[in-house]
Amino acid sequence: INAEYMGGGVRTNPRTLVVSFDGCPNDPYHPASMPIYQTATFVQPSGSEFGPYDYTRSGNPTRTALETLMANLEHAFAAFAFTSGMSALTTVLHLLKAGDEVLACSDLYGGMHRLLTQVCSRQGIAVKFVDTTQLSKVEGVISKQTRLVHVETPSNPLMRVTDLRKLAAVCKKYGALLSVDSTMMSPILMHPLQLGADVVMHSATKFISGHSDVMAGIVCVANEDLAKQIGFLQNAQGTALAPFDCWLLLRGVKTMALRVERQQHNASVVARYLARNRLIKQLHYVGSMGRNSDDTRLLSLTPHQQEVHSRQAKGAGSVLSFETGDVVFSRRLVDAVRLFKITVSFGSCNSLIEMPCTLSHASIPSEKRTLPADLVRLSIGIEDATDLVDDLERAFALAASDVLDVRAIPDQLVCAAAARASLPPSPRSSGASQEGQVNGDVGNLKDLED
């Protein structure tokens, strides 16, 4: 463990810290930007002693700067940067041994589900999935063999909320570690270690980078013992993040607060539009919609769950999902957007859209998948919020039309179609087939294909 990891530094507001952080205070040239130490090895002072760094797998000044900043942002004892979010998750699971048990929230990232069910289970580690939003269910399955409880809150993609303070108390009662994947919130909106968690991880590919140009994972820990274990595993397994990728994260993180807050504002605008859209059956969003019944009727979260989230986070974030009641309609909607990019990721500065069952969570076997097949997930970016709503409105109009190939309609004709189309005043009949196509809800747009 490098000395720079220790202590945590001065507690500065994260909005200020991401900009003012000095990653190389001892550099005699005082660069305004942290340099990239693009080297595999370092010259040692003599044949019988080590310098501060010897081999980049074991340590690198650029990585130390990133890890120090992340430790400060998460109020952690130490932080570690890995080659991907999955690499970070794998390292946390390597804290376990054969005979141990891990409990995981039932709604979680498909890659983590695959890691738990297809890798950990072959290593003699018992895996159980449980609805962590109900602590009584956790207490019903946790045991003395439970070494780790792993949760996402809000979860991906159904945005379910777990009370971290209460769950941490249950974990401590049974001597289990609490690991929180806080990718959805970022260090700007939530600090799980201060809520009782032992480990917090991020897919830094998402909000920390913010530009979809680097893959990385971050693990932050609450105490020295865990720091030594994670540090050993990072070095022994060779999973540390390369210097150039560390530099990309250091560059991206400077605008993280601005991006996250703008994305969150835009998401609230989009959520209100969706909440009033009669083509949507249910909306999964952790933000408050006020007391207007028209805005809250579609929300899947209860007022209590929203209250729990507001107590442990500083905002709703910018990821939300919704159900349309029709798989084909959802597919047509995703294909019809223009500003939103179809991708498995989230947290980028541009807006993204996907259907989890066919993309980000496709690795979960269909018989084990608990997600609605028609679910659509949105990650809201920093674009103008009105443009995003307009893009969705045009996409809904096309998806509900009788146009066969919604992807083939030129942008200017989509605008014209949306301008003269109006969404149906009431939801489609409950008898509509999940696999059937929605026909004629906004008039005949077939001529746009010609």
From 107, 181, 198, 326, active-site residue: 181
Which residues, listed in sequence order, are joined to residue 353 by a DSSP beta bridge? 342, 378
Identify the CA nearest to 178 among candidates 189, 188, 163: 163
C-alpha–C-alpha distance, residues 142 and 136, integer Å: 10
Active-site annotation holds for 206? yes
Tell me which residue has tokens 């980078």.
209
Tell me which residue has tokens 């090895």.
41
Active-site annotation holds for 428? no
Active-site annotation holds for 295? no
From 63, 147, 160, 206, active-site residue: 206
Active-site annotation holds for 109? yes
Structure tokens at 147: 């070494």
From 15, 22, 57, 314, active-site residue: 57
From 37, 109, 273, 285, active-site residue: 109
Active site residues: 57, 109, 181, 206
